[in-house]
Chain A
Amino acid sequence: EVQLVESGGGLVQPGGSLRLSCAASGFTFSSYAMSWVRQAPGKGLEWVSTISGSGGSTYYADSVKGRFTFSRDNSKNTLYLQMNSLRAEDTAVYYCAKLGTWFGELSALDYWGQGTLVTVSS
C-alpha cells in the first residue's frame, strides 16, 4: 500500500523558513517523480514543485521559484521542501504526491499524503 506522510508544518513569521518532509513507503521510491501541491484555506489546488526520480531535475511554480527548494533522499525514501522567505500567501496545507513516471512529465498525481499545514503570520 502506498503511504505518504508529511511533517514539519507549523506557524512561522513572514520572512522565516521552514522545512517540510514527506516519508514514502509501499512503492519503489526512486522509480517515481514526486510533487508538492498546496491548498490555501478555503481555496483550490496549486501545484508547487516536482522532482524527478533521481532528484536530478526539479521544476517550480513561478510563485515559489527562488524561495523554495525541493530535494529527495532515495536512501531514506524521504522528500524535503525547504521554504525560505515565507510570505502570508504561502499559508496552506501542503500535500506531497506521487507521480506515475520517473521523470514526472505527462503523468497523473496518483497518490497523495494527508497534508501538513503551514501558517505564515506574525
Chain B
Amino acid sequence: DIVMTQTPLSLSVTPGQPASISCKSSQSLLHSDGKTYLYWYLQKPGQSPQLLIYEVSNRFSGVPDRFSGSGSGTDFTLKISRVEAEDVGVYYCMQSIQLPLALTFGGGTKVEIK
C-alpha cells in the first residue's frame, strides 16, 4: 500500500498567522491522465472529517480561500494563510491512486490555537 507521512504531528498557531502542513507519499500520486490524486481533510473536534482540497490544489465547495494546496509527485503541502479559531482540529492527507482500490490516509496533524 502507498504510505502517507505527515509532518508535523502538531502545530500551535497564533490567530492571524500562517500555518503549513507537509504530506509525503511513498509513491508518485501522478496518474497517466495528468491528474494527481491527493486530498486534504479537516476533522474538527467532535465532528466527522470534511473535504478541504481535492487533486492537490482545488478547494472543495464552501472552503475559504485562506486554505491552499500545492505540490507534485510525492511531496505536498497544505497552507492556511491566516489561521482562525475555527480552523482547529486534525488535518489528514489521503491518496486515491492505488489500484486495486485502496485508500490511505496520513497520520494526521493536530492544529491548535495559541
Residues of A at under 8 Å CB distance from B? 35, 37, 44-47, 50, 59, 61, 95, 100, 104-115
Contact = CB atoms under 8 A, between A and B. Distances in A.
29 contacts: A35-B103, A37-B103, A44-B105, A44-B106, A44-B107, A45-B41, A47-B102, A50-B101, A50-B103, A59-B100, A59-B101, A59-B102, A61-B102, A104-B101, A105-B96, A106-B31, A106-B33, A108-B54, A108-B55, A108-B60, A109-B49, A109-B51, A109-B94, A109-B103, A110-B54, A112-B48, A112-B49, A113-B48, A114-B47
B6 to A, nearest CB: 9
B56 to A, nearest CB: 11
A110 B105 contact: no
Interface of chain B, main secondary structure: loop
Interface residues of B, number: 30
A45 B102 contact: no
Interface string B29-41: 0010101010101
Contacts, number: 65
Contacts of B107: 44
A104 to B, nearest CB: 6
Interface of B: 31, 33, 35, 37, 39, 41, 43, 47-51, 54-55, 60, 90, 92, 94, 96-97, 99-108
Contacts of B43: 45
Nearest to A93: B48
